[in-house]
Structure 1
């Protein structure tokens, strides 16, 4: 099973950035807990640096993720310093695969959060310890600036939910969407999946799939990334109804 490590920045004696009533250590922990819950529902194994208001040194954060043997490390933060917008970072010297991971995660987050008015500050690189000392692909996310007009956006629950949704979409594009609990019926068309007619087979529990296309009620799941697959009803994935 694909392993994702969530690093909620700061904690304990380290409050992180503050402004307009927002405290970074509290905001990122709330988002991290929401993200953990949603990733587990999506079929990923998730480890976390912290689940409460605890301080960890930067090197310890990397060590915990390395011991977990995570496939991806995601560090969650927000910014201060007078700017505006979302940005993300990977290590200054990094493999091509990490660069591609950054592109995919950045694209998916931006697709979810721009409707809230959050500016795209782009993809960047930095010599941050949690990026340098982790053994897997690692990305650090800066969700916005708490000391600018971004604070109004950051405070909205809808923004936090969409921020998480963007991360999840990026992770699913990178690793696929494991169907972990039960089997889902495979249908030729979206309408077949809705009606329950013309079933062609099943996606067995544990099948690693990618989302090729999505409608309000159905998913086109494929075992080969980028290639059309078969349709399933969203409500039947991991329920074993058919």
Structure 2
């Protein structure tokens, strides 16, 4: 199973950036927990740097992720300093694969947050410890600036949902939708999946999949990215029904 590590920045004695009633350590922890839920529901195994208001040194964060043998490290932050917009970072010297992963995450996040008037500040590189000391592909995401008009956007639950949705969509694009924990019935059409008719077989537990298309109640799941597959009920994947 693909493993994702979520690093909620700061914590404990380190509040991170503050402004306009926002405290970074609290905001990023809430986002980290939301991401954890959504990624687990998508079939990924998720590790967390912290799940409460705890301080950890930067090297300890990387060490925990390395011990987990994560496939991707996501460090969640927001900014201060008078700017505006979202940006993300990878280490100054990384394989081309890491840069491609950054592009995928960035594209998916921006696609969902620009409607909130959050500016795109681009993709950057930096010598941050959590990027330098992690053994896997690692990205640090800065969700906006707490000390400018971005603060109003950061406080919006809808923005927070879309920010998380962009990250999850990017992870799915990179790795597929994790794996199915339980078998799910495969159907020819979305309506067939809803009615339970014309079953084609079963998607075996542990299958690595990509989502080709999605409706309110169903997913078209494929084992080959970009190629249509079979329809399954959302309520069946990872629940053990049928």
| Structure-1-length-normalised TM-score | 0.95
Contact 2:106–2:123 under 8 Å retained in 1? yes
CA distance in 2, matches of 1:179, 1:127: 33
State the secondary structure of the residue aligned to 1:171.
helix
1:102-141 per-position Cα deviation (integer Å, ceiling 9, x unaligned): 1111111112222222111111111111111111000000
Contact 1:179–1:204 under 8 Å retained in 2? no
Unaligned runs of 5+ in 1: none
The reply on whether 1:200 has 2:200 as its aligned counterpart is yes
The offset of 1:60, in angstroms, is 1.3
Q: Which moved more, 1:136-145 or 1:172-181?
A: 172-181
The offset of 1:155, in angstroms, is 0.7
Contact 2:43–2:238 under 8 Å retained in 1? no
The offset of 1:198, in angstroms, is 1.3
Aligned to 2:212: 212
The reply on whether 1:20 has 2:20 as its aligned counterpart is yes
CA distance in 2, matches of 1:239, 1:25: 33
CA distance in 2, matches of 1:107, 1:75: 17
Aligned to 1:103: 103
CA distance in 2, matches of 1:191, 1:117: 37
CA distance in 2, matches of 1:241, 1:64: 35
The offset of 1:194, in angstroms, is 2.6
CA distance in 2, matches of 1:195, 1:179: 24
Q: How does 1:1-242 map onto structure 2 within 5 Å?
A: 1-242=1-242
Q: Which moved more, 1:180-189 or 1:45-54?
A: 180-189
State the secondary structure of the residue aligned to 1:164.
helix
CA distance in 2, matches of 1:26, 1:56: 15
The offset of 1:179, in angstroms, is 4.0
1:128-167 per-position Cα deviation (integer Å, ceiling 9, x unaligned): 1111111100000000000111100101122112211111
CA distance in 2, matches of 1:228, 1:93: 37
Q: Which moved more, 1:155-164 or 1:3-12?
A: 155-164
State the secondary structure of the residue aligned to 1:111.
helix
The offset of 1:217, in angstroms, is 2.4
Contact 2:44–2:179 under 8 Å retained in 1? no
CA distance in 2, matches of 1:9, 1:209: 30
RMSD after superposition: 1.3
Q: Which moved more, 1:134-143 or 1:230-239?
A: 230-239
